[in-house]
Structure 1
Amino acid sequence: IRPTDTPHPNTRYGKSKLKAERHLELLEGFPYVVMRPTGVYGPYERDYYLMMKSIKYGFDFIVGFKPQLITFIYVKDLVQAIFKAIDRGVVRRGYFLSEGKAYTSSQFRRYVATALGKRRVVPVKIPVWLLWVVSVIAEKGAIVLGKTSTLNRDKFRIMKQRNWICDISDAQNELGFSPQYSLERGVNECVKWYRENKWL
């Protein structure tokens, strides 16, 4: 995805973010800066945490059978970008943010397993249609119980995507953004935090 592409979000989450951006654009002179990070992980984060927890128990659940390219940004790099935008004084701009490199689910699994000291993790591929069924059931069940579900139809639309690559050159050129955390380094630090805080 490039900054010049026309956005076509297909989730309530994505549509609400685009609507907020469009609203800010209409406020004449309002000094907004929009950050569009890819998969954010780090201490306290819960979605990737659930994947790490599954890997700890020896299983890695993968959606679909087609290859998937995933991009990440460690929370400290995201904060770095925000402070750089403040320091540079940019206004009325939007930036895609990621580490700048794409990974496969097997690479993510390998880094997490190594950080956890797991020698064997079984990859379990789930058909897209089955994930849809489970997502619908989880969402409706949560509504009945008056709770929120991590897995729902919006999350399904996010998880089924095959390509998460985005162009971060504007942030690099205009903000001097330079990601300091590779996925391997970030996962190691993240797993250490989860362990120290009794999450894993």
Structure 2
Amino acid sequence: MRALVTGAGGFLGQHLARALVASGHEVRAMVRPGGSRGELGGGVEVVAGDATRPDDLARAVRGCPLVFHLAGVRRAAVREEFLRVNAEGTRLALEACLAEGAAAQRFVLAGSLAAAGPSREGKREEDPLQPAEWYGESKAEAERIALSYAGRLPVAVARPPRIIGPGDRENLLFFRIVARGLLLELSGPPRPLSWIDVRDCARGFLALAERPEAPGRAFFLASAERTDLSGLQQAVAEALGIRPRRVRLPAGALRAAALVADLLTRATGRRLPLNRKLARQLLAPGWTCEVSRARDLLGFEARIPLADSVRDSCEAYRAAGWV
């Protein structure tokens, strides 16, 4: 059937659009006016639109019984911008579906582990949402809004953790650091991380769209294999075939560097890879989640191990000249 993907120009959006085409769906990809269309591949109808504009959303959802709402912002200067785009944008997308009679089959929201908040032990879906920063707060509010429509639309929420894979820019900084022969170790105790390869994540989104057990629920989509920052960097070093020098980084130094990076970003308009949001994420006690609900109810399990995901990412980065 015809599926709409908002935010289709982004990292996950591109992979999801291609996965939908490979599964036999017709795909309409909504991208920002003037924004990158990335590598959406053939068989995709691309439409320009702003996911915070009701008229643009109405045109986009028309005739699409499947809607994947991925559009959002990961970085913003003020809390209100996160809420305007991530939370209220979700409400507008749901209202557009109701008005157009779309999403009769499924509305899948791209949530985030950030909505649940940091955890060393592993968050479960039934745990209260405890976001630790503005982005997570906006994703938690988006999730509450989406599930409040569950009586009128078949809504499901995907909560991926850190997403890795070919084409990813969010984790590119760590790959570049290792490529320069360094491996950063943060001071303090280990900080475990849940993660998922982007191709597995796209499969998880399809499961939420197809399985009758999904509506009305949120699901963590993650690999059962956990890592931490050092483990991720070590996997990069092995993929690149280098032996990096370990550098101990105090928490205070990371915070100071992130503050300087944010000030430079504001002064120059150039977004630097380091920022205070990333620093807070790295210094949290952990970002982990349990995977049993998706496994037991949807039959979904991530298949790609960390070593393979990192190797494929390195190959794509090298081909693009990014490392």
Correspondence for 1:133 among 256, 277, 282: 256
Count of residue pairs brought into register by the alignment: 199
172-181 or 26-35: bigger deviation: 26-35
Q: Is the CA contact (8 Å cut-off) linking 2:173 and 2:273 kept in structure 1?
A: no
TM-score by length of 1: 0.92
Aligned twin of 1:10: 132
Q: Which moved more, 1:130-139 or 1:76-85?
A: 130-139
What is the deviation of 1:100? 1.1
Structure 2 residue runs of 5 or longer lacking an equivalent are 1-122
Structure 2 counterpart of 1:194: 317
1:59 touches 1:121 (CA, 8 Å); kept in 2?
A: yes
Question: CA offset at residue 97 of structure 1?
Answer: 1.6
Distance 1:16 1:146 in 2: 23
User: Larger radius of gyration, structure 1 or 2?
Assistant: 2
Q: How do 1:4-153 residues align onto structure 2 when only pairs under 5 Å count?
A: 4-27=126-149, 28-89=151-212, 90-118=214-242, 120-153=243-276
Q: Supply the AA of the counterpart residue of 1:184.
A: A
> Relative contact order (C-alpha < 8 Å, sep 6+): which is higher?
1
Provide the rounded CA distance (Å) in 2 between the counterparts of 1:104 and 1:20.
28
TM-score (norm 2): 0.58
Contact 1:64–1:160 (CA under 8 A) maintained in structure 2: no
2:287 counterpart SS class:
coil
| RMSD of Structure 2 on Structure 1 (CA) | 1.6
3-state SS, counterpart of residue 130 of structure 1: helix
Cα distance in 1 between the residues matched to 2:269 and 2:166:
27
- The CA deviation string for residues 13-47 of structure 1, in whole angstroms up to 9 with x for no partner, is 10010011111122242222111111101122112
C-alpha distance in structure 2 between counterparts of 1:149 and 1:106, whole Å? 22
CA–CA separation in structure 1 for the residues paired with 2:230 and 2:280? 21
- Per-residue CA deviations over 1:49-89 (Å, capped at 9, x if unaligned) read 21111111100223333212122100001001011112214
Q: Compare the two structures and name the one with the higher helix fraction.
A: 1
Decide whether aligned partners of structure 1 residues 33 and 105 sit closer, same or farther in structure 2, where only a CA change above 3 A counts.
same
Q: Distance in 2 between matches of 1:127 and 1:79?
A: 36
- Superimposed CA distance per residue, residues 133-158 of structure 1 (whole angstroms, 9 cap, x where no aligned partner): 11112112211222333322222211
Distance 2:169 2:163 in 1: 10
Please list the CA deviations of residues 89-144 of structure 1 after superposition, one character each: whole Å capped at 9, or x if unmatched.
Answer: 421211112111222333322221111111x2012121111211111121122112
Any conservation in 1 of the 2:183–2:234 contact (CA below 8 Å)? no
Q: Distance in 2 between matches of 1:50 and 1:149?
A: 10
Q: Secondary structure at the match of 2:183?
A: strand
- Does the CA contact (< 8 Å) of 1:65 and 1:125 recur in 2? no
**Partner Cα distance (2:264, 2:230) in 1:** 31
CA distance in structure 2 between the aligned counterparts of 1:36 and 1:161, rounded to whole angstroms: 18
Give the aligned partner of residue 174 of structure 1: 297
